Amino acid sequence: MTAPWEYRDPLEPTLAAEVSSATLMAHVRVIGALERESGSPGEAQAFDYIERTLKSYGMEVERREIEAYISLPQEARLALQQAGALGHVHVLGDHLHNMIVTTIWGTPAPDTAARIPAIPCLSILGADGERLRGLLANGPPRVLLQR
């Protein structure tokens, strides 16, 4: 029996030969240039672009919209100190973006609401993350997550 990750569709070689890395990069550049925050006009523009592209290839597209529980970035500061609270810090590259901090798909329901973290979380840029990692060399630093 073939493992799922070992299976190769017989059409794969034919289709792979039709893939253009230049065309793929052109699509990435268009979509990547848009600010695609959840529910924003840019997110809709990205979907419109993807929909037009797929339809131009003869594919059918069904657009669905849902109400979802999302986390939007807000201003926050991270200060080193002698006492603090438990929380989590996400180190990103050079751009802050939306992130999901729950294991809940969509809007929480009464039976999943307990999975919403009760501790603070914070995203910081890569340079700040490197500074924090440097402090870890001297043992666990205490930090204050402040909104």
For every residue of 76-88, DSSP letters joined together read -EEEE-SS----E
In tens, the pLDDT along 88-105 reads: 888 988 888 777 778 888
**Whole-number pLDDT of residue 6:** 85
Question: Structural domain boundaries of the chain?
Answer: 4-56, 77-146
**Whole-number pLDDT of residue 73:** 65
Q: Would you say 72 and 100 are in contact if contact means Cβ atoms under 8 Å apart? A: no
Q: Would you say 123 and 75 are in contact if contact means Cβ atoms under 8 Å apart? A: no
Q: What percent of the chain has pLDDT over 70?
A: 93
| Between residues 133 and 38, the one the model is more confident about | 133
Q: Supply the mean pLDDT for the chain.
A: 85
pTM for this structure? 0.48
Q: Which amino acid is at 137?
A: A
Q: Which two tokens stand for residue 22?
A: 């230049």
In tens, the pLDDT along 38-82 reads: 888 999 999 999 999 999 999 999 988 877 777 666 777 766 675
Helix axis angle for 41-56 and 21-32, nearest 10°, is 160
Q: Would you say 80 and 141 are in contact if contact means Cβ atoms under 8 Å apart? A: yes
Q: Would you say 122 and 145 are in contact if contact means Cβ atoms under 8 Å apart? A: yes
Across-strand partners of 80? 143
